[in-house]
Each structure stands twice: as structure tokens, then as C-alpha cells.
Amino acid sequence: MRRGFAVFLLVTLVACAPPPSGQGGGALWQPSPNFDQRRPNFVILHQTSNDSAAKALATLTDPRRKVSAHYLVGRDGAVVQLVDESARAWHAGDSWWGGLSDLNSASIGVELDNTGDEPFAEAQIVALLALLDELRTRYRIPAANFLGHGDVAPGRKVDPSRLFPWQRLAQRGFGLWCESAAAAPPAGFDALLGLRALGYDITAPAVARQAFRRHFLASDSDTDLASGEQALLHCLLRQKAPRDPRGPMVPMVPATAE
């Protein structure tokens, strides 16, 4: 009898306890200590397209605009945090990378005070590199997962602009880069499949090519990739692929029926 009453009391107390946000409507709430905070695995870089940090800050904190980021880095190197890193900021919007269709839930968003038509200030880049180093250390973010808004939303977004110093970031481990002329890709290499393997959404091939060129070649062209550009793509894929003791990465060639 006493054991049955204890079970009844426990169920009653659980049922009467205030439910947490996000609880299933028909579920009882029995908290477990076995959890931790979600860990961001990407950093998405943006430009504000404003002519001052004050204007950008007003936009990013306006409840009517419904847009935010975790950090804003000014031209002078000042860094302002707007959203807790454990929370989901509204910065990437409709996005896709490597099969992930909600980058907001898996990333830290960083806005850079820049109009999109000007070089990025030295003080700003120095502050950005320090911030990225902290984020990488805190969350063990892979080099390949430092991306631009234009990478994860090609055709819809073009930031940061082709003036952004991706090579300099990659030299510090924030992004991929091929320093020297890349060797020719293997025979039959499929550039479109290669773009998808790198992470791009290839639903609209032209904008995927444009986003790739903006990031790695400081160009906005959307034509088919030339042989040298395909070599660059293949080089980047080899950098991204984890080291496999069994041999080199399988080349991106279309499958053929036997």
C-alpha cells in the first residue's frame, strides 16, 4: 500500500509541475540531469550593408525586423554581443549547406559593419580573427565550417562581398583555401557534384557557381567552371575530406550503369 501511494504521489506531482517550454502537450514532465547545451558547429559571416554600426545595431535589435546575430563587429574593431551563444539567433534565414536546411539552429552568426562596396577595415578583421579564435576553441568548429551568408543562401544573399579576405581567414584555420595552383582533377570529374560535395545547394547551378567564385575567386561570374576552377574545387574537396588511411578521396565523377 505504501509503495503504491508513493508511485501515485510521484505521478501526481509530476503532472502538476509547470511544464517547460517546448514540452509535448500530452507528455508528463520528469526532468533528467543528463543533458547539456547545444553546441554550434558553424560560423556564418555577414555584412550589414549599412553605412554605420549604429544603424546596423538598431536593425538587429528592432523586434519588428525579426533579424539578429550573435555578434556585430564594427569598422573600428569594437565587438558587440547581441544574442547568447546558446540561443538561436535569426541571421541565416532560408539556408542550406551539406544537407543541413536550418543553419540558424547550428551556427553562430557574425555581422560585419560594411556597406558591401568597400574593403573591410583592418581593425575589424583583427577583431574578427580574435573572435573566431575564441569560438573555434570553445566549440571545436572545423575549418570547413566557417562560411559566408552567400554560401548557405546562394542567389538570395551575396554577403560578405567579393572584397572579403577569405584567404587571410583560411591562413588562420577559418575556412578552406588552396594556396598554389591546383593539379588537374581526375578524368570525368563532375563540377556540379563537386559543388554539392563541398556543401553548396545546387538546385540552381548558376547561383551555386556564383557563390563558389565569390568566396574563392573574388568573382561574381555564374558560367560553367573552367578547367582551372574545377582543379581548385577538387583541391578544396581534398582539404575538406577527412584523412582516410585506406587511400585518397574518391574523385567526384558521375555514376555509370554497368
Question: CA 246 to CA 203: how far, in whole Å?
Answer: 33
CA 14 and chain centroid, separation: 39
Q: Are strands 71-73 and 107-112 parallel, antiparallel or unpaired?
A: parallel
List the helix and strand counts (H, then E) for the chain: 8, 5
Backbone angles phi, psi at 209, to 5 degrees: -65, -40
The span from the CA of 206 to the CA of 26, in Å, is: 47
Q: Which helix (H) or strand (E) holds 43?
A: strand 42-47
Establish whether 111 is a catalytic residue: yes
Helix (H, G, I), strand (E, B) or coil at 85: coil
Three-state secondary-structure class, residue 233: helix
Q: Which of 85, 111, 118, 179 is catalytic?
A: 111
Q: Measured between alpha carbons, how far is 44 from 146 in angstroms, rounded to an integer?
A: 6
Query: How many other CB atoms sit within 10 Å of the CB of residue 175?
Result: 24
Tracing cell 569594437 back to the chain, one arrives at 78
CA torsion sign for 222, 224, 228, 234 is: positive
- Strand-pair partners of 79: 73
Backbone angles phi, psi at 97, to 5 degrees: -155, 120
Query: Read out DSSP for 48-79?
Result: --SSSHHHHHHHHT-TTT----SEEE-TTS-E
* Residues assigned a catalytic role: 111
